[in-house]
Structure 1
Amino acid sequence: MTSPTPRKFDFDTVFDDAGAVAQASARPKRIYPLEEVEAIRAQAYAEGERATMARVEAQQAQALAHLAQACQAALPRLAEVAHDHRVGSAELALACGQAIADAALDAFPRAPLQAALDSLAREIESVPRLVVTVSPALAEGLEPLLAQAAQSIGFAGQIQVRTDPGAAPAAFGLDFGDGAARFDPAAAAQRVAEALHAALASEGLHAEPLIPGGDA
């Protein structure tokens, strides 16, 4: 293997003892064609555009990540707000229903008793005696209504009316030997409220969305 022939190193610029330039070699000048200049400019522009777009995309990704984190943190609270809204709406509807029911019972206190007699017609038509327990206010003038109801359902037995001073105005009890039926407006309202609250508690934060088509 042969070694390359050593070449003397030449300085482009030589200075004298006073520090002045004693000799300066001429540097070659290059002239760039217009096409090469345009190509270099286009390449530099493209590289700058790619770098800018990369920074923009990185910033967008970071912003979306922060937004996703904020939404994730807010979802549990939104579910709680939605659940509280459901509970409040249900309680408001329950209160309105109770007010309407109370007004209806005040206007037609015998309607529940009449409905019960019609519903139990087959159970009581053949029994020998029917005991009806009502409040003193409801007992006034009740016998003609009971007689008419008995005739309409074909009841030929004995009807006995008893009063309960502690009963609500529209409350009643029916005893017909092998069976019985009771109605107390306050107890019925309490059962409805308990069933509603139990359903809301069971549903919890996993209910259907408030807005159709949305997410819970």
Structure 2
Amino acid sequence: MTHSLPKFDFDRVFSADGEVLRDGERVKQLLTTTEVEQVRQQAYSEGENSETAKAAGVQADAVRAVASQMQLILARLQTESETLREESAQMALAAAKKLAGAAIAANARDAIAEFCTRVMKDLRGEPRFNVHCAEAIAGPVAELLEKTAADAGFEGAVIVRANPDMTGADCRLEWGSGSIERSQEDIEARIDALITDWLAAPDDDDTATDCAPDADGAQAATG
């Protein structure tokens, strides 16, 4: 009886560099130097990738924390800016009132004459124009108005009356169909209104907080 034999049947198997990989039924239990290096490189690469990922995560967390703190700081600065803005406005208001009052008081005669001239231009047909002002400047105002009334084209009579209750450049103008009054309180009220309107206007720096980086943007920047 004939038995078929395997075409090839080597008990001992060698690697390309001559190392025994298999000796009969025994399989090599040790790795070659090349294989050891390959395993080492793979392990190192995996470890390095893992550490890089951890470092990136830590960096992203740090950037998010910084962005959050920046938003808090900007919000606080905005509040402090508004407070400083209002305080500065109040200081400016006080200074403006003082300067306006001093300037008008120092030039009360001219201020009243200029005010009267502007009103007279619209009242040229009136037969009489009465001017009430402080006693201390009634005479000088009367002298000045004689000329300014003619320059304004007012042909009626201009009568200046001293009022003991008035001070500075306070005055009241009266004619046949109406009257108008101006006082230091009116001037200060106008200054108050200007400051109030200025405070109500949006601040140019209000958009600063909108430019603060958010956490998502910060994380994307690390990518």
Specify if TM > 0.5.
Answer: yes
Task: Give the corresponding residue for 1:165.
Answer: 164
**Superposition deviation, residue 53 in structure 1:** 1.6
Task: Give the corresponding residue for 2:203.
Answer: 207
SS at match of 1:189: helix
Number of matched pairs: 185
In the alignment, the residues of structure 1 paired with residue 29 and residue 191 of structure 2 have an alpha-carbon distance, to the nearest angstrom, of 99
SS at match of 2:121: helix
In the alignment, the residues of structure 1 paired with residue 178 and residue 42 of structure 2 have an alpha-carbon distance, to the nearest angstrom, of 97
Contact 2:109 2:137 in 1 (8 A): yes
**Superposition deviation, residue 55 in structure 1:** 1.1
Letter matched to residue 32 of structure 2? Y
- Cα distance change of structure 1 residues 145 and 172 upon mapping to structure 2, 3 Å threshold: same
Task: Give the corresponding residue for 2:147.
Answer: 148
**Superposition deviation, residue 133 in structure 1:** 0.7
What is the percentage of aligned positions where both structures have the same residue? 27
TM-score of the superposed pair, with normalisation by structure 2: 0.70
Contact 2:109 2:140 in 1 (8 A): no
Task: Give the corresponding residue for 1:10.
Answer: none
Letter matched to residue 92 of structure 2? A
Letter matched to residue 122 of structure 1? K
Task: Give the corresponding residue for 1:33.
Answer: 33
Q: How does 1:117-136 map to 2 (within 5 A)?
A: 117-136=116-135
Select the structure with the greater relative contact order (CA < 8 A; seq sep ≥ 6).
2
Task: Give the corresponding residue for 1:138.
Answer: 137
Task: Give the corresponding residue for 2:13.
Answer: none
* Runs of 4+, deviation exceeding 6 Å: none
**Superposition deviation, residue 27 in structure 1:** 9.4
In the alignment, the residues of structure 1 paired with residue 42 and residue 110 of structure 2 have an alpha-carbon distance, to the nearest angstrom, of 92
In the alignment, the residues of structure 1 paired with residue 162 and residue 45 of structure 2 have an alpha-carbon distance, to the nearest angstrom, of 98
| Structure 1 unmatched ranges of 5 or more | 1-25
- Cα distance change of structure 1 residues 53 and 153 upon mapping to structure 2, 3 Å threshold: same
More helix by share: 2
TM-score of the superposed pair, with normalisation by structure 1: 0.72
- Cα distance change of structure 1 residues 57 and 125 upon mapping to structure 2, 3 Å threshold: same
- Cα distance change of structure 1 residues 68 and 88 upon mapping to structure 2, 3 Å threshold: same
